[in-house]
A and B are shown apart, each in its own frame.
Chain A
């Protein structure tokens, strides 16, 4: 279990209770957090679940894997802390996680 805060581009905060075994993307979708498209449904194949991890949390969340990095790398609007949220599994250590949503999904 982890409480995750999604901060939309306009500053609105959405706090959700995420279940272990789910992904950060799925937790957003399940709780109707706007701003995540997740067109491919969690296969790391569309890059439309892009989030920017809060600086304080990036070390805990960790860097993207090779395939994810490949997808992120093609997005000109990516940032150093960018992750594809379908590739971030929910776990207890993420309790309190804060991620920002980009203005647009590409």
Chain B
């Protein structure tokens, strides 16, 4: 057995006698072939026991939502015995998700027990080369201690001081966009804005933002056959990220006056100053992916949602003040983190189902955010909702998204600046979606701006 690499979709079949070496060198392509499904089949035709809502191909084809709709209706706490990730429970209703997320004493995030995505499995003696500890995959007290080291960066009062910088950059990015020709919104805008922000938070040269984006994409695609033959190959890329940041660490450590950047915070933090290399790399990747994929996909998801709901786009054009309520609605609608997983620390009951100690439990945020019993008209995109902040996209409890206010601010600012400049960003082709049931992402969105 081996432990889960961070935030990756390394697939795991249910057999327990696979060695780590086999998992790391196994062909991503062959595994996806072995678990191939027909994404066009009717979800209601699949026997409930065989339903595997976490299959990445469903997300790549954007066919996942009807599966969750059925689960919420027929089996809100559902067990899938066989999947490329091994056996896992799915929690799909809003209230149940809030409950599981809030009970960290019962549902652990510890990477040694399997961590936070359904691809993770328990490994009490993880190999440091292929294991990346990070605070999102720890329980208290370690989680709390390390989170508190970087939390001041994301405190609203500090973010407030960054707003002008974000606005200036958003303006420059938008002013440089081509007119009357098709381009990929993801690369030109979403990735640019979030990449520049990350470089600022790490206080590294702006031109190195492309490296951060590369390592973010590597992490999200380590199990994706289009990117890597094997997981081992992906890890080789990730260790280059460590080498880069090892230099930054030494540089920050040598500074007489501590810097106000994330690396300086880690260098001086009591619980982070003595991290082994794999833990430093893990926490770096946590900050990169946390600050990159989520906001990026929400920025893109908003453009797509407004194009798919032209009445809402019209409403926004008529009243720019609706940006404030549109931002949380975009985040709910996109749900850029499709799920978080936990490991049960004791036998327990949920929704009439018996969950055993050691079982893996996925909380499907994407499903909770479409739960009509909790959110009125949950399956409609409405930018002027009465209570738009009622969504589960940031998670709840001690692991609630640390960068939520930064993400919201970036979304708000980019939309304020878009509305100052462009009447319409027109989607002119089919989006390409990420093959992942963890990060609910959009890789390409062809758009055109007339004028």
Contacts and interface: CB of A to CB of B under 8 A. Distances in A.
Of B147, B390, B397, which is in contact with the most chain A CB atoms at under 10 Å from its CB? Answer: B397
A10 to B, nearest CB: 14
Given A45-B400, A106-B405, A40 B98 contact: yes
Contacts of A48: 389
Interface residues on B, range: 20 to 34
Interface stretch (B71-79, B81-89, B148-156): B148-156
Interface string A51-95: 000000000000000000011011111000000000000000000
Contacts of B147: 74
A74 B148 contact: yes
Contact of B390 (A41, A71, A73, A106): A41
Contacts of A46: 394, 396, 400
A41 B156 CA distance: 21
Contact of A77 (B157, B390, B394): B157
A45 B102 contact: yes
B389 A45 contact: no
Interface string B159-182: 010000000000000000000000
B203 to A, nearest CB: 19
A106 B156 contact: yes
Contacts of B102: 43-45
B429 interface: no
Contacts of A39: 389-390, 394
B98 A104 contact: no
B151 to A, nearest CB: 5
Interface string B373-408: 000000000000000011000101110100001000
Given A74-B147, A74-B151, A76-B152, A104 B396 contact: no
Given A39-B389, A103-B156, A76 B151 contact: yes
Interface string B135-150: 0000010001001100
A45 B396 contact: yes
Contact of B156 (A40, A47, A105): A105
Contacts of B157: 77, 103-104
A11 B235 CA distance: 53
Contacts, number: 55
Contact of B155 (A37, A41, A47, A77): A77
Contact of A76 (B101, B140, B148): B148
A46 B400 CA distance: 7
A70 to B, nearest CB: 6
**Central interface residue in B148, B156, B405, by most chain A CB within 10 Å:** B156
A73 B151 CA distance: 11
A43 B98 contact: yes
Contacts of A75: 151, 155
B155 A76 contact: yes
A83 to B, nearest CB: 17
Contacts of A103: 156-157
Contacts of A76: 148, 151-152, 155
B307 to A, nearest CB: 28
Contact of B397 (A45, A73, A77): A45
Contacts of B140: 70
Nearest to B397: A45
Contacts of B144: 70, 73-74
Contacts of B98: 40, 43, 45
22 contacts: A37-B389, A39-B389, A39-B390, A39-B394, A40-B396, A43-B396, A45-B396, A46-B394, A46-B400, A70-B144, A73-B144, A74-B144, A74-B148, A74-B398, A76-B152, A77-B157, A103-B157, A104-B155, A104-B157, A104-B405, A106-B154, A106-B156
Interface of A: 37, 39-41, 43-48, 70-71, 73-77, 103-106
Given A39-B394, A74-B398, A105-B156, 14 more contacts: A37-B389, A39-B389, A39-B390, A41-B390, A45-B98, A45-B101, A45-B396, A45-B400, A47-B400, A70-B144, A71-B397, A76-B151, A76-B152, A77-B157
5 smallest A-B Cβ distances: which pairs?
Answer: A104-B156, A45-B396, A45-B102, A76-B152, A76-B155
